[in-house]
Chain A
Amino acid sequence: EIVLTQSPATLSLSPGERATLSCRASQSVRSYLAWYQQKPGQAPRLLIYDASNRATGIPDRFSGSGSGTDFTLTISSLEPEDFAVYYCQQRSKWPLTFGGGTKVEIK
């Protein structure tokens, strides 16, 4: 199965700062990578699909990039509601797999 490794595990930042989250795949997933945001007690929410396409209603401060094995989710300027856990997921091969998550916390 394709293993996704997210780094860092925790990112401590202040509102207004830029967040850069990494997701590395154990083999190429082409551009079939999605990013989700999850807040405590809530279901995950789709942010980015096909590596770089924003989902409906997602603010443009969220952007995704990468292809093959290395991907990045960037939040250009953190808003208070952006502090959450972020997961990447590959959609290239079965079984679908998620990364372990990156927690973005308030510094």
Chain B
Amino acid sequence: EVQLVESGGALVQPGGSLRLSCAASGFIFSSYDMNWVRQAPGKGLEWISHIRTSSTTEYADSVKGRFTISRDNAKNSLYLQMNSLRDDDTAVYYCARDAKYKDDYWGQGTLVTVSS
């Protein structure tokens, strides 16, 4: 059974940093691209970052230069390093498996709250 479990969400002050993790199981993690998608409270979905099996990356303009996506295939894990956090980064952050033109499995999400 494919499972994605996010962790690392917390309350953090503006300007702070946080590292999210996504533990994958039930599939060959190294064979799949992965995405991070977020959802602000009461709002829609926003794609923020993508990493290929080759570890090349893509970012939304809203996070470019502040967030870094990475992966550790030996640990079946995906990461999102978030720096210079702002109030508008407050959201539930989901990791999703990218099965070529579709996100077919999603984690349950982890909440990041940026507030002083």
Cross-interface CB contact of B101 among A32, A43, A45, cutoff 8 Å: A32
Complex interface bits, B43-62 against A, C-beta within 8 A gives 1, otherwise 0: 01111001000000011110
Q: A55-B102, A98-B45, A100-B44 are in contact. Are A43 and B60 (CB under 8 A)?
A: no
User: For this complex, into which size category does the number of interface residues on chain B fall?
Assistant: 20 to 34
**Which of B20-28, B78-86, B103-111 forms contacts with chain A?**
B103-111
Contact B60 A95 (CB under 8 A): yes
- B residues contacting A by CB (< 8 A) are 35, 37, 44-47, 50, 58-61, 94, 101-104, 106-109
User: For this complex, into which size category does the number of interface residues on chain A fall?
Assistant: 20 to 34
Cross-interface CB contact of A91 among B44, B59, B101, cutoff 8 Å: B101
Q: Which B residue's beta carbon lies closest to that of A1?
A: B61
Q: How far is the CB of A57 from chain B (nearest CB, A)?
A: 11
Counting chain A CB atoms within 10 Å of each CB, the highest count among B58, B101, B108 belongs to B101
Q: Which A residue's beta carbon lies closest to that of B103?
A: A46
User: A99 contacts which chain B residues (CB < 8 A)?
Assistant: 44
